Each structure stands twice: as structure tokens, then as C-alpha cells.
Chains A and B, each alone.
Chain A
Amino acid sequence: MAIVVRLDVMMARRKMSLNELSARVGVSVTNLSLLKTGKAKGVRFSTLEAICRALECQPGDLLEHEEDSQ
């Protein structure tokens, strides 16, 4: 996948657990887990905004583009 989600890195920096983030953002732990492991197909702007607000970061801190290895 070309877009890599760095949610785990930001959560570790903010010392925030998945349960706490789930409560703050209003997204289920299951869905956050899918997002963290890169299994989600996409993320809504509203979800991204809520996560950025909770983790006090920018979208660029959470998403990263990587070239596909052939």
C-alpha cells in the first residue's frame, strides 16, 4: 500500500492508548485498530480531523506516502 498510517507512532509519542483515543474520537476500537494496521480502505476527513485534534498533530504526521516495492 502506498499510503502508510503512522497512527501507532503518534499514539506512542502522546502516550495514548487505543481505548482512550477511541473514547476521544468517537470511533470504535475495532475501526481504529483496522486503521492502525493499515487494513482500512480509507479514512474520512471528519475522522482524520478528530484524530488530529485528539493527538494534537497534523494529518501529515499520521499519513505517509511510500513507493510500492516491485
Chain B
Amino acid sequence: MSARLLRALVNLLLGLALGFLVVAAAILVGAPLLGEPLLSQWPVLAPQPDPAWQVSVAGIEAAVTLGQGVLSVEHSGYGWHWALRVVDFAISGALLMVGLWLLRRFTGEVGDGLPFSSGSAKRLRWVGLILVAFPLWQALRDLLWHTMLKGELSQQGLALVSPFQSQTSNAFQLQLSVDWGFAVTGLLLLVVAEAFRVGVALREENEEII
């Protein structure tokens, strides 16, 4: 793929991401004003199916096993749910936009025929760090949500445990919705950035030899 095409692709992605963030911000701000609920979802596991779900029919025995599912929470108004979503939106959006912007600058330098500059190596390293940081933020965000939801929903009779707690028979275990693929890609980019840094040092040394 040529550098020009790559840059066009990154520009397109940047535009789409910006558009998506504007729409998401409008929904985030506007939904509580219009009285519309915001929906949040987390995967849950049921460690042991409830015996009440088993049915016996003459000749056969069938069991419904609810092993995993999705916990959906609808929340309205400007409470802590909303505040946490705003924080998530701000941090995830900032990571996305900064990452794409740095990638745009990098592809620009590649297009100009100057990929081995100290700036490009630094930008590549930052993109890698952002990709590593993103799933960590997702995990932290989920743990914050889990802590707050456990407190609220246990009062309503729904037993929830965090991903690191031991499972009990009648409790649903909340799972982290984290994409560790970002971290792996980020680590690969950090390796490439280090190779670029060495390349920059070699180029600079080569330039000092006449």
C-alpha cells in the first residue's frame, strides 16, 4: 500500500472517528435532557445453573444451562452513571483522536520520504503506548462500574460478584469487556518504534560520515 493511500485512509478514519465522537457526545448530553435512557452492557457468567431450571419429562431429563449472558443496565438523568460515561467518553475519545492524529503525522512523514526522523520514532512510540493504555483503561472503567453496580443491584436482590471474586452458586460473575488485542498491537508498535529509533541513530551517524 502506498504512503499516499495510507495517509488518505488515516484521514478518512480520523474524519469518521471525529464524526462518531460528535454524535456520541450529542447523545450523551441530549439523552438525559430528552428523558431517554442510556444503555450499558457487560458480559456475565453464571457458574452453576440453578436447579430450578432443570425439568424432568417422562423418559428424558433436560436441563437448561444458563452459562453466560449480558447484564443490561438502563440509566437516565445526570447521576453517577452519566458522569462515569462522560469520563469514559472523554478518555477513550481523547486516546482515539490523539492516536489517529499521531498516525496521520507519521504517515505524512513516510509520504514525504522522511520516516527515519526522531519525531516519527517518537510518534510511533506514543501510538504504541496509547494502544497499550486503552485496554488498561477499559479494565479500570469496568472495575469502577462493577463496584458501583454491585452495591446498587445487590440491594435489588441481584447477586453479582466481580471478575476476581470466587463464584457462588446463585451469583452472576461480571466479566471485563476488554479487548487485549489493542495491547498486543501496541506492544508490536513499541518494538517497531524502537527499531525506528535505532534507524534514526544510524542515519544520523551515517550523515556525519563524509
Contact = CB atoms under 8 A, between A and B. Distances in A.
Nearest to A51: B210
Interface stretch (A10-18, A41-49, A52-60, A61-69): A41-49
Contacts of B208: 34, 40-42
Contacts of B210: 27, 31-32, 34-35, 40, 42-44, 47
Contacts of A32: 210
Contacts, number: 20
A23 to B, nearest CB: 16
Interface size on A, as a range, is 10 to 19
Contacts of A47: 210
A25 B20 CA distance: 58
B209 interface: yes
Nearest to B205: A41
A13 B209 CA distance: 25
Interface string B192-210: 0000000000000100111
Nearest to A31: B210
B78 to A, nearest CB: 63
Nearest to B209: A42
Contacts of A44: 209-210
A41 B208 CA distance: 5
A47 B208 CA distance: 13
A47 B205 CA distance: 16
B207 to A, nearest CB: 9
Nearest to B208: A41
B200 to A, nearest CB: 16
Nearest to A47: B210
15 contacts: A27-B210, A31-B210, A34-B208, A34-B210, A35-B210, A40-B209, A40-B210, A41-B205, A41-B208, A41-B209, A42-B209, A43-B209, A43-B210, A44-B209, A47-B210
7 tightest Cβ-Cβ pairs between the two chains A and B: A41-B208, A42-B209, A31-B210, A40-B210, A35-B210, A43-B210, A47-B210
